[in-house]
Amino acid sequence: MEYVDETAAKIMVAARPGDSIRRIAQKIDGSYSWVYDWIGRLEDAGFIRREDGVYIEKYAVRDRYYDLVAAISRAVPPSIDDGYVIPHFAGMTFAYTKIDGVYVWTHGGYQIARGHDDYPIFIQVADQDVDQWTAFFDEFGIPSRIEERPDATDDDSTVSYVLFPRSGDITRKWVDGNPVIPLDETIEHMLENRVNYEPALEMIADEYDRDIDATHEDPRLDT
């Protein structure tokens, strides 16, 4: 029973072959030292091995952890923080996009059109994986839609997912442990919806040294 632990379960479910300990810690939003300690314990138990990265040794154990996490998610709706961890359990490639592309590239510094009781998360997925993603979120008891925001009145869950299918390979970057569409694609989305993203454009221009004509002034100063 000593291995019936939230961190152990998240490590086993989120780890992909060759992941570094730091990458796993970022995926599950855990502290490096605590994840490092648990990986050592899981290795001693023979559940995983370390060899130029972390690898699952006991997939039967991994599957039981997966079932446990899914069952808990169905019983207790996940928090917003958990909403950014759960997609890592699916074992399929994805990247945060649209509003979440901006959210990730600004390190959580810019948020728009979401609240604590209605929080859709926007992810880009491969065309061929759409049905699997839908089934995955159903298994976790979380609403999802394709290219449209779920109606918050249809479900008690705070977190939902909006899937944006993409043909071909998904190009993604890792920022703060989050897979996200490239910065150029994010900027393009922001420019197409400039009225919503002017402050974020200024943040992006400053941090990433991009030549973007972006200024944000408080209209109250124009009186």
**What is the tens place of the pLDDT at every residue in 142-162?**
999 999 988 777 777 899 999
Tell whether the torsion through CA atoms of 15, 70, 130 and 97 is positive or negative. negative
- The Cα 196–Cα 112 span in angstroms is 8
Helix spans in 52-192 (H):
59-75, 80-83, 99-105, 130-139, 183-192
Q: Over 70: is that where the pLDDT of 218 sits?
A: no
Contacts of residue 51, defined as CB under 8 A and 6 or more positions apart, other chains included, come to: none
pTM of the complete model: 0.88
Tell me the one-letter amino acid at 42: L
Share of the chain above pLDDT 70, in %: 96
What pLDDT sits at residue 151? 79
Tell whether the torsion through CA atoms of 193, 198, 200 and 204 is positive or negative. positive
For residue 163, give the H/E element and its range. Answer: strand 159-166
What pLDDT sits at residue 219? 44
- Segment 93-113 shows an average pLDDT of 95
Q: Are 49 and 117 in contact (CB under 8 A)?
A: no
158 Ramachandran zone, left/alpha/beta (phi>0; psi -120 to 50): alpha
pLDDT digits (tens, 9 = 90+) for 155-204: 778 999 999 999 988 999 999 889 999 999 999 999 999 999 999 999 99
For 159, which DSSP code? E
What pLDDT sits at residue 144? 95
For 216, which DSSP code? -
Q: Are 166 and 180 in contact (CB under 8 A)?
A: no
Confidence band for 217, pLDDT divided at 50, 70 and 90: low
